[in-house]
Amino acid sequence: MKFLLIMQINNAILDALTEQEREAVMTGHQAFIKALQESGEMIGTQALGDPSTSVTVAGRGGETVVTDGPFVEAKEYMGGYYLVDCESKERAVELAGMIPDARIDGLAVEVRPVMFSSGFEM
């Protein structure tokens, strides 16, 4: 089963981290990536730029409008993701718990199943 582990980032929380904590997060991600590769559960991962660098293309009154900035202004935003292929939702939750972000107050990892493009018989 494929899941997207979405890292929900909050800049205020990140800014408040000590140098040591930030270092721990960085090395924690390297260890996590290595563990995922070794277990064969890794499909891909990407870190995303700050929402201030986003451009949003949206429909407005029947026209397509391009604006600077994210789709939704919020404190939390998607900072990056891991796309994994693992045995069950329980395992995906377990993997999410291994991401260093999940151990920092105010940050979170969202676990969302990936939709299939072909269906079951009713």
Interface with another protein, residue 101, by CB under 8 A: no
Q: Does residue number 116 form part of the binding site for another protein (CB under 8 A)?
A: yes
Question: Which residues are CB-contacts of 50 (< 8 A; sequence separation ≥ 6)?
Answer: 11
Q: What separation in angstroms does the CA of 7 have from each of 12, 33, 58?
A: 15, 14, 24
27 sits near another protein (criterion: CB under 8 A): no
Going by their DSSP bridges, the two strands 42-47 and 55-60 should be labelled as unpaired
Q: Are 100 and 33 a contacting pair, CB within 8 Å?
A: no
**CA 3 and chain centroid, separation:** 11
Rule CB under 8 A: say whether 31 interacts with another protein. no
Of 15 and 121, which CB lies nearer to another protein in the complex structure? 121
Min dist CB 50 to another protein, Å, is 28
* 86 is a site residue for another protein (CB under 8 A): yes
Query: Binding to another protein by residue 53, rule CB under 8 A?
Result: no
Query: Can you tell me the distance from the alpha carbon of 48 to that of 42, in angstroms, rounded to the nearest whole number?
Result: 18
Size of the site for another protein (CB under 8 A): 22
Residue number, 2 or 22, with CB nearest to another protein:
2
Interface contacts to another protein, rule CB under 8 A? 2, 37-44, 85-87, 113-122
